Every structure is written in C-alpha cells, then in structure tokens.
Amino acid sequence: MKILTCAVIWISVAAVAANPFALDKGDVVRPIVTNHGMVVTSEPLATQIGVNVLGNGGNAVDAAVTVGFVLAVIRPRAGNIGGGGFMLVKPADRNGVTVIDYRETAPAAAHRDMFLDADGNADSQASRFTHRSAGVPGTVAGLAMALERAGTISLAEALTPAIALAADGFPASARFVDSIAAYAERLHTWPATEKVFFNADGTVCKPGEIFVQKDLAETLQAIADKGTDAFYRGQTAALIEAEMKRHGGVMTAADLAAYAPRIREPVHGTYRGYDIFSMSPPSSGGVHIVQILNILEGYDLAASGHNSARTIHLLAEAMKRAYADRSKYLGDPDFVDVPVAGLTTKAYAQTLRNGIDEGYATPSRRVAPGTPPGWESGETTHFSVVDRHGNAVSNTYTINFGFGSGIVVDGAGFILNNEMDDFSAKPGVPNAYGLIGGTANAVAANKRMLSSMSPTIVLKDNKPFLITGSPGGSRIITTTLQVIVNVIDFDMNIQAAVNAPRVHHQWLPDAIRLEPGISPDTIRLLGAMGHTIEIKSVMGAANSILVDIDNTTFHGAGDPRRSGIANGP
C-alpha cells in the first residue's frame, strides 16, 4: 500500500469541521467565516487543495480549475474530464460577468432519430447506457480556457495535485466506497470500468484503503505536458475513438479535434436591488431563475414567511410556468432562436403573474407555454470560489448520471458522460429527470444538449455578494433560486439559506416535491389549495459563498445534503 506524501493532500482540522450541521439536527446553523477568500466544494480534500492555491497567491480561477481537476480524480461519480459544464467568472477589476460554456456537443454522426427503436419509440437504454450516449467532452478545454483568460498559474501547475492523487492514490472514504457499491451493477458492465473500480475478485475497496488510478494519472500528465491537444488530438482522442469503434459508438477523433468551448453572454436580471447573473442557453437555468424571480418580485414573500403555505404556493405557481416555457423555447442558441430577452422581461413576468390565483393551484394541464415578447411562432457537482481580491467563480459540471454512462475509456482511465439523454429523443417524451422537451432540443450533429445547470453570481453595487449553484438534474434551477430567495427575502445567513428545506415544481408531473422538514400543517394547507404533494429525498447540494459588501469577510456554506465543505486560507 502506498502512502501519500504530497503536501497538498493533507486535510486541515478546520476543513473537516466546516460542516457539522445535519438537516435533521437542531444545531445552531453557522457558516464558516474567513477574511482571505473561500472555497466550497463537495469534498474535503478538494476544498483544502483549493484553499492551498489561494494561500499560495493564486486567484479564484486558479483555485477553481485546480479543484475541477482534483474532483475528476476523487469524485468520479460527478467530477470529470469526460463530461462538461459551465463556469461564471466575476473579475475583481472589471464590470460584468464572463461565461464559459464547455457543455458537451453531439458527435457529427448524431441525428434526430438516433435513439428511436424500430417502432418509433424513445429507447432510454440506448440514450443512457451505451457508447452512443456520450457527447464530446468539454471539461478539459473549458477549464484550460478559464485559466488562459483569467488565471495566473499554468495548466501544468493546476493539474499537479490531481496527477499526484491519481498516481499515488488517496484514502477511500466510506462515502466513496458506498457510491461505487451503489452503482456496482452498472460499473460491472464494462471490463475497463471494472478494472478501475473493483479488485481482481470483483469486490470494492475498503474505507481507508489507497485508491490508485494509473491510467487516469497518465492521461492527466499528458495534458500537463502537451496541453489540451493531448486530450483532443493526441493519444487520448485515439483511445476514445478506439473505444467507440469497439462498441458501436459514433464519436470520432475528428469530433474531438473540432470541439471548442464558447464564451457566452450571461443571463442578467435584477431582484429587489440585486443584479443576478446566471448561465445562458444552452442551459435553461439562468433564464428560468431570472424569470421566476421576476414573477416573485410582485409578492411580499417576507411578509408571507419562509416556507409558509402561501410562500410555497407562490413558488410552485411561478416554477410551473417557467418549466412550461422551458419545454418549448429552450435549446442550443447556435441552432434555435431562444427568446432570452422576452422570457426574462419584467413585463412578461407580470403577464404570467396575472394568471396566478393566490389562493388556489392552477392545474398544470391549464398551464401552457406562454408567448414572451419578441418570440415568433441534466449527477452533477457544483463549487464556488472567491479570493481576497474579489474575483469570484461559480462552476457546475457533470457527466449526467452518477458515474455517467458507466463506461471507462480503456487505457485512459476516465468515465464517459451520457449527456445525449439530455436531448429530446422524441418531442413530448420526458427524459430521465421527467423534463418534457420539444423540437428546440432535438438531437442534431454538433449541437449542445439543453441543461439545467445554473452557476450563479449575485452582485450588489458590482461587487460579488452571493456565489451559488447546485447539482440535482431538474431541481438545480429551483435549488439555486431558493438559496437566493432565502438570503434576500428572508435575511438568512448563508448556511441557514443552504440548509433550509426545499420545494420543487417542474410543471409536469403536476406535483409539489417537498423535502422532509416542511410543517404538516403547511402540507395540509397546500393540499387544501389544490396541490398534489410528494415528500421526497433531499434535493441539490448548493455549495455557496456570501461576501460582505466591502469584500473583507467571506461566509462559506457547504451543503450538508452531500457533505459539502467550506474553508478559506
């Protein structure tokens, strides 16, 4: 057994203690407070390594990129170099927010009906668990672009901790072992995957044992030595193409060589005097966060009370109207005309608000996509970083399901995404998260599939105030939304805002999903209003940061739902 010696991997006592709160405990809910920056991720080791980068003089982008690669090693169920995502960056020395879209793209051989069976029905097995389910990965190119545009360290430096953790290994936590065991059936499907995640006798490693990933270490080292071309045009691309040819996939080396991340304009809105910047299409997240906030701005939520029946009713009614619009209008803006400006106007929100009965639920069958002005007729992980200078990063990336497709690229050591399932295989048929899609999100060659990922930065007087986002499939949008509302409307500290029980409505199915912790009396009142109620397991993992307006104090909140960890230098 190898013992890790690289100094960057040690976890401080402060990092481990950063999240002592459980949703079902009555503890005092306090954020972690520092004066020199903050990193909040889903893994103690990743948080501490990000803190080390800040402590050594790196900025928020340096720390975020380093964390992104580290999570690809220590959290393979969601962290990745075989997937894609979105990053928002608020530079301390410039107005506005920069968006990097490194979402996966469909291979050139993809076509509209590729996931329909002989009878014309959507084949979910094909779109989720075969080699055809993988989109062209964007993470390596996206993280490298962020570093080139706004970082201060080299790509090789950012990769150093991840390479060490892959080559020398890291102690497997009980949560890490449990996650492999939970997905064992899928991971046993492919020999290359078995080789990475299981012992020779098919068993899972024990907690505390050192988990080594030699092939992944070599892949990361090649990127450090030769840059992104090592992944998109070199040996890794050849390994991906060979993997596809062996198993009926359609991605080619040419698809990888053609991949490029995009700089996008963020979606921008205002809410009660704060500027909201969030992810633009091909994510639906920012559009609908701003749209829902615009609707809610017409109500005095503070007077209604946090998670009161009236507040939850208004949240649900606003949510279902936004998700109805999502089903019709949202897709890759390089392929379809997405009416972002119309969907996010205050006037359109007023029109939608006029249709809300404040005392009774509108059945979803009576809620159709609206007509915004100017319109003619998807397992994820989020992390937030801010440095002492006021640079802020909100990043969400994914391989879709836990462990994505379950397919490891033989010889390269990383898991491929199954993001092709985020397209609408057949208009009107729900995807794995129950989301209804239309022709705007149909499969097409080189197209980016629609996402719900919603990395968000809230500014006050052009300074970072709140950095947030979440995993959670269709619940990403509503999770992120409620953190914002909890802080602005209900004046919660950031840890209380993150911990508070969440609600979700996505138009179809027509039901409010509630986390445990909502009052039984509130549930009874919602039923009397005509709502169908479903009590479900926890939603999201909104690792968030609140910044004092003078940029001297940083309040970090790791989400206890997935053992989030906050810490600072």
Last residue of a domain, one of 441, 463, 485: 441
Which tokens is 548 given?
């004092």
The pLDDT of residue 362 is above 60: yes
Assess whether 352 and 376 both reside in one domain: yes
What is the model's pLDDT at position 4? 29
> Is residue 522, in this structure, part of any structural domain at all?
yes
What is the model's pLDDT at position 77? 96
The pLDDT of residue 17 is above 80: no
Assess whether 130 and 216 both reside in one domain: yes
Assess whether 311 and 356 both reside in one domain: yes
Assess whether 370 and 400 both reside in one domain: no
Average pLDDT over residues 368-391: 83
What is the model's pLDDT at position 426? 86
> Is residue 25, in this structure, part of any structural domain at all?
no
What is the model's pLDDT at position 373? 79
Which tokens is 115 given?
């996931």
Average pLDDT over residues 482-502: 98
> Is residue 63, in this structure, part of any structural domain at all?
yes
pLDDT in tens, 387-419: 999 999 999 999 999 999 999 999 999 999 999
Question: Model confidence at 86, in pLDDT bands (50, 70, 90)?
Answer: very high
Across 17-31, 72-86, 280-294, 487-501, least confident range: 17-31
Q: What angle do CA 279, 285, 290 make, to 5 degrees?
A: 85
> Is residue 311, in this structure, part of any structural domain at all?
yes
Which tokens is 183 given?
């997905």
The residue written with tokens 């619940």 in the block is 475
In single-letter form, the type of residue at position 104 comes to E
Assess whether 410 and 540 both reside in one domain: no
What is the model's pLDDT at position 431? 75
Assess whether 69 and 160 both reside in one domain: yes
Number of domains observed in the structure of the chain: 2
Assess whether 304 and 227 both reside in one domain: no
> Is residue 22, in this structure, part of any structural domain at all?
no
Residue with the bigger pLDDT between 25 and 178: it is 178
The pLDDT of residue 13 is above 90: no
Average pLDDT over residues 421-443: 83
Assess whether 187 and 141 both reside in one domain: yes
Average pLDDT over residues 248-257: 98
The pLDDT of residue 27 is above 70: no
CB 444, CB 335: distance < 8 Å = yes
> Is residue 92, in this structure, part of any structural domain at all?
yes
The pLDDT of residue 376 is above 60: no
Residue with the bigger pLDDT between 116 and 427: it is 116
Calpha distance 137→301 (Å, rounded): 41
> Is residue 51, in this structure, part of any structural domain at all?
yes
Assess whether 268 and 202 both reside in one domain: no
What is the model's pLDDT at position 28? 53
What is the model's pLDDT at position 379? 73
Burial of 562 (0-12, 13-18, 19+ CB in 10 A): buried
Q: Of 44, 127, 40, 136, give the one whose Cα is nearest residue 81.
A: 136
What is the model's pLDDT at position 375? 57
pTM over 0.75? The answer is yes
pLDDT in tens, 195-227: 999 999 999 999 999 999 999 999 999 999 999
DSSP state of 551: S
Calpha distance 61→69 (Å, rounded): 12
The pLDDT of residue 374 is above 80: no
Residue with the bigger pLDDT between 15 and 340: it is 340
> Is residue 429, in this structure, part of any structural domain at all?
yes
Assess whether 429 and 311 both reside in one domain: no
In single-letter form, the type of residue at position 290 comes to V
What is the model's pLDDT at position 429? 78
Domain of residue 325, CATH code = 3.60.20.40
pLDDT in tens, 265-298: 999 999 999 999 999 999 999 999 999 999 999 9
Average pLDDT over residues 428-435: 75
Q: What angle do CA 261, 263, 269 make, to 5 degrees?
A: 135
Average pLDDT over residues 515-544: 96
pLDDT in tens, 297-341: 999 999 999 999 999 999 999 999 999 999 999 999 999 999 999
What is the model's pLDDT at position 21? 36
Q: How far apart are the first and last CA of the chain?
A: 31
Which tokens is 247 given?
């198993």
Question: Model confidence at 378, in pLDDT bands (50, 70, 90)?
Answer: very low
Crossing angle for the helix pair 44-55 and 60-74, to the nearest 10 degrees: 150
Assess whether 162 and 272 both reside in one domain: no
What is the model's pLDDT at position 18? 32
In single-letter form, the type of residue at position 115 comes to F
Give the domain extent around 538: 264-380+453-567
Catalytic positions are: 380
Specify the 3-state DSSP secondary structure of 268.
strand
Average pLDDT over residues 99-119: 97
Assess whether 182 and 317 both reside in one domain: no
